[in-house]
Amino acid sequence: MKILVTGGAGFIGSAVVRHIIGNTQDSVINLDKLTYAGNLESLGDSSSHERYAFEQVDICDRAELDRVFHEYQPDRIMHLAAESHVDRSIDGPAAFIETNIFGTYTLLEAARAYWSSLNAERKGSFRFHHISTDEVYGDLDGPEDLFTETTPYAPSSPYSASKASSDHLVRAWHRTYGLPILITNCSNNYGPYHFPEKLIPLVILNALEGKPLPVYGKGNQVRDWLYVEDHARALYKVVTEGKIGETYNIGGHNEKQNIAVVHGICELLEELAPGNPHSRRSNENRASDRVGAGFSSLVTYVTDRPGHDLRYAIDASKIQRELGWTPEESFETGLRKTVQWYLDNLEWCRRVQDGSYQRERLGANV
């Protein structure tokens, strides 16, 4: 198959591209605007593979989308291109409305026109897979409640509202025009190549530099954590085996309070980076005033985010029952792999933090 992946230079998108190139015989067309969160270095060796192609295109640009569809003739679409950071959506919601709503609409229309032009066999095998988030459901009330595929939407932030809107558009294009769609809603992803503004990489890198580890409110917000490579496997399962018109929730079965995640990272860093000057062992060796404090002493509680949902948790029984997918990583094994990856790839982190990954790509200061 030829699979068009939008947002394939982003965190989840790059994991999908690496999975497809590394584990299947399918070809990938990576379509990405390359905003601040798009980093071609996250693709690793996949970017030089003969089954990989890249197009720097904005999903809001209909003419360019039509060109890409005509030139590459994809069999499947995996739509991951989106603005996705909640804090950024609160500070500047316009970009989220533009990309997540209007961009999805534009992509749907380009895909519909292309799909309508295919012969009967290719038209029957075509799929439009829209990748969304569990944040469209709002938050949960009881400690035993779980998000299912039929949970009513109740988004709390401009980001989640824009993703909810895009979900509704995709379903409407299926109902009205017959476009063969699939939707997935996932829990919080983590793993290699995660942009440093997100919680886990931010805590890892701040701790290594002795900077404060910011925790919203009391840190009692609960999230279900999904290792990004498990998510990539699930997405490929859905786009190749999922039933047209269906929604599949994808979760990691790993509910953790944010403060527990932060302290878990600190403990792993104590083990994996004992020579760091901010570690407990280093403090003990210096006999400093902060003996025994270590990385956890950097935890800093900050004012909570407006409209912050308290608890997310996914019921992923449908995808397990119907498609046979389950996560391979527990939170403990996945977090260990993640911390170790950042320790081993500090140069990638530095290039993201100082912006050099963008400057070299654009050939100018950004």
User: What positions carry a catalytic annotation?
Assistant: 134-135, 159
Tell me 289's DSSP state: T
Q: How far apart are CA 103 and CA 80, in angstroms?
A: 11
Amino acid at 184: T
| Cα 109 to Cα 105: distance, rounded to the nearest angstrom | 6
Q: Are 31 and 95 in contact (CB under 8 A)?
A: no
Burial call 71-93: b when 16+ CB within 10 Å, e when fewer: ebebbbbbbbbbbbebebbeeeb
Closest alpha carbon to 269 in 328, 210, 348, 218: 210
Q: Is 329 left (phi over 0), alpha (psi -120 to 50) or beta?
A: beta
| Residue in the block written with tokens 């019921």 | 315
